[in-house]
Each structure stands twice: as structure tokens, then as C-alpha cells.
Amino acid sequence: MCPGNQRNVRSHLFDAVLFDRDGTLVHDVPYNGDPSLVRPVPGARAALDRLRAAGFRLGVVTNQSGVAGGRLAPDDVTRVNARVEELLGPFDTWQVCPHGERDGCRCRKPQPGLIVDAAAALGTTPRRCVVVGDIGRDMAAAGAAGATGILVPTPVTRPEEVAAAPTVAGDLDAAAHQILRRSRLVPAGTARPRRGTVLVARPDSAGDVLVTGPAIRAVAAGAERVVMLCGPRGRRAAELLPGIDELIEWRLPWIDPSPEPLARSEVDAMVDRIAAAGPEEAVLFTSFHQSALPLALVLRMAGVRRIAAISDDYPGSLLDVRHRVPLGIPEPERALSLAAAAGFPCPPATCPSCGSAWPSRRRTWRPDTWSCTPAPPCRPAPARPSGTPRSSPRSPAPATASWSPAGRTSCRSAPGSPARPRSTSAARPRSARWPP
């Protein structure tokens, strides 16, 4: 596709792409101070132009320890960088670390300083940046800053660095393709009228519930009322999520790792329970190895009129929105893409504390009193690698902002919950609405 014909991408995920220089954009010449020796790697200009045409801001983050060691003068680095721009086009920021290994600076990769400074120069945050590099130091710096890392291996890349990389691309063109694909899966949203009651389902473990949190918040931002169907393994995590009005707990035998026999009476009772909650539509979140179709059938029996889910299998009349995503998409992005396909894109507002698209003040539910208590302001969570095609069905660790609920008590079923079916629910005050 010609760069001039490529549609501009408005993404909730990324604003900028930051590249390592030597070994990533140009062939590595140790301590190079001669512009005539600069040779771009194959396909570099075309990949960069694709990203520029899509509206991404581009930057370079590079270690140049030759300055500290006396092998290079600062002017040498400047001339080489200028030659890189002549061959590959303009970059919006250049961040260079001139220090040596033993200088203890904050900027030399794997420290995050170069990425933090580049993000600030581009008017964004590290969490909205992608870092593309060829060695483990680049990926470690990305993780330390909270950015997304993509490794493009070269002959000098060690096997253990490839194995530890959050995402691997064969070349710069493949890296650009991944960035554009992931950005289009999670488009930026705009304000729209709220819908009625929406059921969201994530009936597996606590980690799976938490990584689905941003998508559930996107649904809550566009719905008047949100009912969440969760499993017993994920209930304690579900109780922490803002924007949920009611919880329904059910151990789904086609999802739970230790299923019990399923009785018709249990399904009938759950159909009645869901019908009583009154959802007009539902968004069913799953991992790549799970099927949403059995639950979609139960929801149809409960009278839910519109159902959205990811499904590679033919859904017949069970789904109104059949969403499909490629393999290798990290779980939070997979869920956000489904929410957007269902009509709940990420709203544009962000939390001023951490830059995340959810309320800056959360409220937590105390099951023993059925009351809301303020929770501390959110803090950015430690960065974790994104999912890859090598991921297993095991749930990934949470990748959302974290907080510590003040005064939490043990989570137990609400008083009066029925013994059969294995479901409990309790209406609770609305968590902090967002947007207000």
C-alpha cells in the first residue's frame, strides 16, 4: 500500500514508535563516526513511511558509549544521525545516551530514561509508545518504562533474548504490520449515548478478570447498568472492578478447569437468574482457547437480544456480533477489540494519575456491609510482557493499573444466596462512574 493512500490510525493504544539505531534501523558499525558508513537495513524506509502515514510520531533512542570512551566526539554522533535522517526520513525526536556502562546514568539502556524522555518530547507517555530494538537491552528498557516492546532479531541477538521478548517480528516491515494491526483492533472512541443494561462475562480466573478490566470499563462507560457474570475463581477480582452494578457467579463447566457434572435444573435456574437481571445485550470475553458459544446459547434462552463474542467457529444465530482476531494479540488488547466491535470503544478521557482510560478515584465494595468505600488513587502497575503466539492457556498476570483496597474484608457470598444453582449475586452501589 502506498503511504499516501494509507488511512490514518486513531488508536487507544499507541501514539509513538521509538527505534533503536544500530542494528535496528541501520547496520551496526561499532563506534561509527563516519556518515559514509551508514547503511539502512533492508525495508527500513518503507516500514517507517507506513508508520508516518498512519499518524504515528517516530523517535530514536540510542546508546552511544563511544562518546564516554573517547572513541567518538558528540559532533560525530550528530553527523551520523543526520545521515540516518537523510536516508530514512525525519524523526520527531532523537534521544542519545553518551555515557558508559559504569557511569550509573538513568538513560543508558536497559535503564528507562531514554524512553521516558522521548515520550515527554513527543507529548505522550511511555505506556503509549512502542519500542523496537534488536537486543535484550532494548526490551528491558521498554519494560522498565512501561512501553510495549517488539524485538527484531539479528545475528547478534542471543536465543535467550528472543525467548524473553514480549513480541518478536522477523523484520521492520513485520514490526510495522504488528503495530498497525494492534492499533486498528482497539480504535479510539468518542462520546455516545449510554445504552441500557449490558451483561459482561469473564467466567474464569482472577488474572483473566483483571486483564479484561479495561474492556469492562469501556463497556461501563457506554452503558446505564452493567451486570457481570463471573466464576468463583474470579469473583474476588470482579468485586474490585469499577463500573459493575451486579455480580452473577456461575461455575461454567466448559470453562472451569475442575468441572462438575452439569444438570438441566442448574441451567434452567441460571436462565431465570439472567432473565431477572434484564440485560438487553451481552459481551462475552474469552481467551483464545475458549468458546463463547455455550454461554451464548444460555443467554439466548434468557432473552438477551444482542450478543457479541470472539468466535472462529460458525455461531449460527447465537451471535449478533462475531468478532475475529489474529493469534498473538495480548489478552487486554483482545478484550478491548471485542468491546469496540460491540459498540463500546475506549473513551478518550484518561486518568490523570497513570494515563489509563478509567476513573482516577475507584470505589471498592465491602461484601459484609454492601457499601462503597473510597480506594487510594491508582498507581501504574509494573510493566509485563505482552502475550505472544507461544502463550499457553494459563492466565497471564494482570496488566492493568493496580491499587490496594483499604479495609478489605474476606469475600464471601451475599447472605441468602441460593445453594443451587452454584451461583450467587448481590446488587451493589454503582462504582465510580466514568465518564461522569
Q: What residue ranges do the domains of the chain occupy?
A: 3-185, 195-427
Residue 312 CB-density burial (10 A; 0-12 exposed, 13-18 middle, 19+ buried): exposed
What is the CATH number assigned to the segment(s) 195-427?
3.40.50.2000
Residue 270, pLDDT score: 94
Instruction: Choose the catalytic residue: 20, 117, 204, 208.
Output: 20
Instruction: Please provide the size of the chain in residues.
Output: 436
- pLDDT tens readout for residues 414-436: 333 333 333 344 444 333 333 33
Q: What is the pLDDT of residue 93?
A: 96
Instruction: Say how far residue 110 (Cα) sits from the centre of its chain.
Output: 22
* Domain 3-185, CATH: 3.40.50.1000
Cβ of 156: how many Cβ atoms within 10 Å?
10
Spatial CA neighbour of 296 closest among 240, 342, 340, 247: 342
**Alpha-carbon distance 165 to 160, whole Å?**
9
* Amino acid identity, position 298: V
Whether the CB-CB separation of 200 and 229 falls below 8 Å is answered with yes
117 among known catalytic residues: no
Q: Give catalytic status of residue 49 as yes or no.
A: no
Find cell 546508546 and name the residue.
Answer: 63
Question: Among the options 22, 76, 117, 204, which is catalytic?
Answer: 22
Query: Which residue spans within 252-335 are E strands per DSSP?
Result: 281-284, 306-310, 321-323
- Residue 194 clears pLDDT 90, i.e. is over it: no
Mean pLDDT, range 275-285, rounded to an integer: 95
The grid coordinates listed for 128 are: 503509549
- For position 325, what pLDDT does the model report? 84
Whether the Cβ atoms of residue 136 and residue 158 lie closer than 8 Å to each other: yes
Kindly tell me if the per-residue pLDDT of 4 is higher than 60: no
Q: Which pTM does this prediction carry?
A: 0.57
Q: Is the pLDDT of residue 53 over 50?
A: yes
pLDDT of residue 193: 65
Q: Cβ(277)–Cβ(304) under 8 Å?
A: no
Q: For 156-188, how does the pLDDT look when each residue is reduced to its tens digit (9 = 90+)?
A: 999 999 999 999 999 999 999 999 988 877 665
**pLDDT (tens digit per residue) in 293-347:** 999 999 999 999 999 999 989 999 999 999 988 777 888 888 998 998 888 887 6
Fold match between domain 3-185 and domain 195-427: yes
* Cβ 110 vs Cβ 140: under 8 Å: yes
Q: Which three cell numbers stand for residue 373?
A: 468505600
